């Protein structure tokens, strides 16, 4: 289980996750795998600006489009990750080829386990944004929070179900399939 931390460690990188990497979601195991590095849950956060969080591709993947000021303020989770885990996330998100790790501003949301003061805490963190996308993606419903089991009627098709043992091989096949299909992003 994730540990809620109260103090930011300067040797760590703070990352905002909004989709299948969140707690309870299908790819959270990437953050839990200690052989890939260290990831410590800080708590929930919300983007300071609106972004389009949409579901796309035949795998029903949540994408945060790099279009600040459009969409909704997005709720996700903050993790402090070490350099090894940041490299793992870069590989998982295919940074910089598919997603781009960008600086975004978020507000931490109070929760019962942490001792966040009642004043809003804003901070600049890393987030993985999709910079190259088709215009029709703006026609998709924008979400404020993603859950695989949400009422969006587009359940996530876990890449791991392709029958391969390694995340890396799953991602290679996933990205190749999506780059070539008509509904692909690029």
CA-closest candidate to residue 150, choices 73, 79, 53, 70: 53
Predicted confidence at residue 4, as pLDDT, reads 36
Q: How many whole angstroms from its chain centre is CA 115?
A: 24
Residue 49 sits at φ, ψ, to 5 deg, of -105, 160
CA-closest candidate to residue 78, choices 15, 145, 29, 146: 15
Say what the pTM is.
Answer: 0.79
Predicted confidence at residue 60, as pLDDT, reads 87
Predicted confidence at residue 40, as pLDDT, reads 97
Please list the active-site residues: 93
Predicted confidence at residue 162, as pLDDT, reads 42
CB 44 within 8 A of CB 16: no
Predicted confidence at residue 165, as pLDDT, reads 43
Predicted confidence at residue 113, as pLDDT, reads 56
Q: How many whole angstroms from its chain centre is CA 135?
A: 21
Handedness of CA 37, 43, 47, 48 (dihedral sign): negative
Predicted confidence at residue 163, as pLDDT, reads 39
Give the pLDDT confidence of 36-50 residue by residue, as tens digits: 999 999 999 999 999
- Annotate 8-37 with b (16+ C-beta within 10 A) or e (fewer): eeeebbbbbbbbbbbeebbbbebbeeeebb
Predicted confidence at residue 150, as pLDDT, reads 86
Positions in the chain short of pLDDT 50 = 1-7, 118, 160-167, 170, 180-186
- Contacts of residue 12, defined as CB under 8 A and 6 or more positions apart, other chains included, come to 38, 40, 80, 81, 82
């Amino acid at each position: 289980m994730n540990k809620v931390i109260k103090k930011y460690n300067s040797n760590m990188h703070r990352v905002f996750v909004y989709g299948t990497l969140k707690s309870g979601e299908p790819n959270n195991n990437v953050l839990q795998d200690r052989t890939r590095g260290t990831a410590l849950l800080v708590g929930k956060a919300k983007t300071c600006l609106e972004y389009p969080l949409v579901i796309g591709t035949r795998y029903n993947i949540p994408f945060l489009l790099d279009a600040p000021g459009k969409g909704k303020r997005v709720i996700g989770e903050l993790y402090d990750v070490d350099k090894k885990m940041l490299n793992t996330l870069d590989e998982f998100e295919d940074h910089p080829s598919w997603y781009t790790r960008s600086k975004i501003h978020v507000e931490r949301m109070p929760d019962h386990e942490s001792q966040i003061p009642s004043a809003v805490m804003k901070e600049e963190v890393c987030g993985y944004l999709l910079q190259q996308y088709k215009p029709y993606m703006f026609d998709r419903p924008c979400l404020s929070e993603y859950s695989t089991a949400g009422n969006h009627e587009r359940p996530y098709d876990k890449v791991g179900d392709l029958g391969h043992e390694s995340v890396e091989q799953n991602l290679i096949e996933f990205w190749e399939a999506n780059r070539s299909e008509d509904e692909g992003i690029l």
